[in-house]
Amino acid sequence: MSADGQKSDGKTAKTAARARLVLTASSAPRLARHVRLKHDAVRQQWILLAPEKILTPSETAVEVLQLCDGVRTVEAIAGELARAYAAPANAILADILPLLQDLADQGHLAR
Amino acid sequence: MTALLEPPIGLLAELTHRCPLQCPYCSNPLNLETVRGELTTAQWCDVFRQSGDIGIQQVHLSGGEPASRRDLEALVDGAAKAGLYSNLITSGAGLTQSRLERLAAAGLDHVQLSIQDADAANSDRIAGYAGGFQRKMDVAGHVRALGLPLTVNAPVHRQNLDRLDDIIALAVRLGALRLEVAHVQYYAWALANRAALMPTREQIDRSIEIVASARERLKGVLTIDFVAPDYYAERPKPCMGGWGRGIINVTPSGLALPCHAAQTLPGLVFDNVVERPLAEIWASSPAFQAFRGTDWMREPCRSCDLRTLDFGGCRCQAMALTGDAANTDPACSKSPRHGELAALAESESANPPLPLRYRRM
Ligand code: SF4
Ligand code: SF4
């Protein structure tokens, strides 16, 4: 093992810890780089591929995730869905914020 | 089979049985396959293409140590071209910064790095590989620097469980997204070392508490997956998510197995991916049919409400502990052999640990 490897260890280890991503209405989340939203042609459904996990998001979740581009805020996404479904934006925001927070807590979203 | 056959979702590709480490709980068979019989690059890439075609979404590149294959970069590239999400299951041995850069460029999606302990000396002792721990720390740093997601896999047992808090802290320091705290499952090499590795009941209970409190404390920082220990359990695990229900394991020489320990079951006939298309193997290989669904079950499983949830537990454990693979997994409290299991664990864990029998060719 190289001396340089030994030295780098402590440093890398200390600075690399992850922080929790806490979402608010003004956050603009996107899918984490290591997560893929994909249409599964064999099963005819949307799936979310993540490290050693495969989720089958609900229709709503798929629509929300397709809008999570790192530019649109959660509030803006709720607004778009509200217009599309002629539903109150507040109610939609109240639905999608916990959904996104849950995905963030599993490490599937990034800022 | 009454239900319609679902397509498989995951491929466990045991690229090689070669590994410089010698973990005494290695899940590889006692009769390790040699390099001469290993599938070629082209043969693996063909398996990946077929996998993508039949609905497999994730490939776990495993071993042995997959980095022992000089063509690992080409294999990752093949998996990516087949549309598979790739997961490298590694001990860190054989991975340098430049090699990891090439793997990332070839489309590697995720790295799962195993550690034997948070204590360097004990980690190297358990792995039977001097300097291995430091290499793992370096690999973790390179993986994170490349922006790849990292899972730390920590098999736990009597000889490292008392440092579970340190293991969790280490995973956080390394910037891991996930930590697998996996109680050793007693098959293959682990079965041969069971008396040396079996934890005490107190250790198990404590590990459950530690994981529960860490999960709360580290919400959003570290996801902890916990593989519960079978010997002190009341309910068995749905091994492989059910036999022939979602996973295909391919050995280094191309045998398609429903579970990595399936070769311990007498009388099963395995197909080779070089000789038969994967779709056919999935649909009708005798080994996959043997314990698919619930028709093969006896009592108490046959009439149990949980049979479509846990599928009667693990066939290989039933075989190893009761002598018949079609019996209920003795990890289940409804098994007539259940009482023996905890008694065995308690007596083995009460004795001073035996010397480890290291995994060797
Ligand atoms: S468990 Fe240990 S010996 Fe077995 S393949 Fe993994 S690192 Fe190598
Ligand atoms: S009896 Fe069989 S099906 Fe029922 S819980 Fe036990 S192992 Fe599972």
Q: How far is CA A82 from CA A23, A76, A91, A94, A96, in A?
A: 20, 10, 9, 12, 12
pLDDT at A4 over 80: no
pLDDT(B135) > 80: yes
Are B70 and B38 in contact, with CB atoms under 8 Å apart? Answer: no
In this predicted structure, what is the pLDDT of residue B3?
58
**Where does chain A have alpha helices with state H?**
3-15, 59-67, 74-85, 89-105
* Residues A110/A33, Cβ–Cβ less than 8 Å: yes
Minimal CA separation from A2 to chain B, in Å: 9
Residues 6+ apart with CB under 8 A from B315: B239, B243, B259, B262, B265, B291, B325, B326, B329
The three-state secondary structure class of B118 is: coil
**pLDDT above 60 for B349:** yes
Strand blocks (E) in chain B = 10-14, 58-62, 85-90, 110-114, 150-156, 178-183, 223-227, 247-250, 255-257, 271-272
| Whole-number average pLDDT of chain B | 91
Contact B23, B129 (CB under 8 A): no
- Beta-carbon contacts of B259 under 8 Å, excluding residues fewer than 6 positions away, are B239, B240, B243, B247, B249, B314, B315, B316
pLDDT attached to residue B128 = 84
Q: Which long-range contacts (CB under 8 A, 24 or more apart) does B347-352 make?
A: B348/B194, B348/B195, B348/B198, B349/B158, B349/B198, B349/B199, B349/B200, B349/B201, B349/B203, B350/B200, B351/B195
Distance CA B25, CA B357 (A): 9
User: Among the ranges A13-17, A105-109, B75-79, which has the highest mean pLDDT value?
Assistant: B75-79
- Name the residue with higher pLDDT: B293 or B179: B179
Given this model, what pLDDT does residue A8 score?
39
Nearest CA-CA partner of B106 in B54, B45, B16, B64: B45
Distance CA A19, CA B177 (A): 10
Please list every residue in chain B whose beta carbon sits closer than 8 Å to the beta carbon of residue A107.
Answer: 149, 177-178, 220, 223
Looking from the CA of B237 toward its CB, the CA atoms found within 13 Å total: 15
- Nearest-angstrom CA–CA distance, B43 and B274: 7
B97 with B86: CB under 8 angstroms?
Answer: no
pLDDT in tens, B6-25: 999 999 999 999 888 888 88
pLDDT of res. B132: 87
For residue A1, the model assigns a pLDDT of 33
Phi, psi (rounded to 5 degrees) for B68: -70, -15
Q: How confident is the model at residue B339 (pLDDT cuts 50, 70, 90)?
A: confident
If you measure CA to CA, which chain A residue comes closest to B84?
A49
pLDDT of residue A45: 94
pLDDT tier at A15, thresholds 50, 70, 90: very low
- Comparing C-alpha atoms, which of B126, B124, B142 is closest to residue B134? B124
pLDDT at A14 over 90: no
pLDDT in tens, B188-200: 788 888 888 888 8
Phi, psi at B59, each rounded to 5°: -120, 130
| A51-107 tens-digit pLDDT | 989 999 999 999 999 999 999 999 999 999 999 999 999 999 999 999 999 999 999
Q: Classify residue B347 by burial, with Cβ atoms within 10 Å: 0-12, 13-18, 19+.
A: exposed
ipTM of this complex prediction, to 2 decimal places: 0.85
Residues in chain B within 8 Å Cβ distance of A100? none
Which of B14, B181, B191, B169 is closest to B88 using CA atoms?
B14
- For ligand 1, what atom is nearest to the CA of residue B20? 8
User: Average pLDDT of A36-64?
Assistant: 94
B149, B288, B312 from B291: Cα distances, Å? 35, 7, 10
Confidence grade of residue B133 (pLDDT, cut at 50, 70, 90): very high
**Looking at ligand 2, which residue's alpha carbon is closest to its atom 7?**
B312
Cis peptide, bond prior to residue B300, ω within 30 of zero:
yes
Specify the 3-state DSSP secondary structure of B177: coil
In chain A, whose CA is at the least distance from the CA of B151?
A51
Return the residue in B5, B172, B174 with the most chain A beta carbons within 10 A, the one to mutate for interface testing.
Answer: B174
3-state secondary structure of B121: helix
- What pLDDT is attached to residue A11? 38
| Ligand 1 geometric centre to CA of B40 (Å) | 22
